[in-house]
């Protein structure tokens, strides 16, 4: 049997514990008021000082200028050279499904292993012209090619400002972000123009005169 404590003993112990918690233990050492400033107040004071001096406005303008430059001048595609000699090769866009394509009910529309050439479904409506707008010779050659194909060309930059060129040419100019297309097609030199020839794409690297 477990020993039972007297109710009076329990009450006495509880009273002693509460009294001990409320007891004044005195001063252990000297105390000082909290002198550290509020961090938010410090930050706001610095921002107001920068605003008053004009430094904050200058930083804001620099940030806007950097953002505008990055949009107007995307990072050039690495690994490309200026075309020195004509080169023609072909690209077959046929692909093979790695997994089943199903509809909303789970029914298989196209099984894995299906091979398909997109050019059997849709044709390339315009020639794709890749060039570097930082090179005046390539810009001139690109303009000649656009005129040769009677405007049925989609200009795609691998370097330079597409916005500046759009203003000069008064027509849409695109950018091959991170070189996704030139690497897919195997283009090593620019200017290069991509055209449809039957069920494959013909790629011509065109030297600059």
Contact call for residues 174 and 56 (beta carbons, < 8 A)? no
pLDDT of residue 74: 83
Which tokens sit at 192?
Answer: 């290069």
pTM over 0.85: no
pLDDT of residue 67: 63
Which tokens sit at 145?
Answer: 């090619």
pLDDT of residue 64: 72
pLDDT of residue 1: 46
Mean pLDDT by runs of 10 across the 209 residues of the chain is 49 49 54 67 82 78 68 85 95 91 88 90 94 96 95 96 94 94 96 96 94
SS3 of residue 47 by DSSP: helix
119: left (phi over 0), alpha (psi -120 to 50) or beta: alpha
Nearest to 171 by CA among 181, 163, 183: 163
Contact call for residues 126 and 150 (beta carbons, < 8 A)? no
SS3 of residue 15 by DSSP: helix
């Amino acid at each position: 049997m477990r020993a039972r404590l007297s109710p009076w003993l329990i009450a006495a112990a509880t009273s002693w514990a509460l009294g001990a918690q409320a007891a004044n233990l005195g001063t252990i050492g000297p105390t000082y008021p909290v002198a550290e400033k509020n961090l938010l107040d410090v930050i706001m004071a610095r921002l107001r000082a920068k605003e008053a001096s004009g430094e904050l406005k200058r930083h804001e303008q620099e940030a806007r200028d950097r953002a505008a430059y990055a949009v107007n001048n995307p990072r050039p595609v690495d690994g490309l050279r200026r075309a020195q000699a004509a080169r023609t090769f072909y690209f077959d866009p046929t692909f093979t499904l790695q997994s089943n394509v199903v509809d909303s009910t789970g029914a298989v529309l196209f099984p894995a292993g299906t091979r398909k050439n997109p050019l059997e479904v849709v044709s390339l409506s315009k020639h794709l012209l890749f060039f570097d707008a930082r090179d005046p010779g390539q810009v001139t050659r690109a303009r000649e090619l656009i005129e040769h194909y009677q405007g049925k060309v989609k200009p795609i930059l691998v370097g330079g400002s597409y916005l500046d060129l759009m203003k000069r040419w008064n027509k849409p100019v695109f950018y091959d972000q991170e070189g996704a297309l030139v690497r897919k097609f195997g283009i090593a030199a620019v200017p290069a123009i991509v055209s449809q020839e039957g069920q494959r794409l013909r790629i011509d690297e065109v030297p600059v005169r």
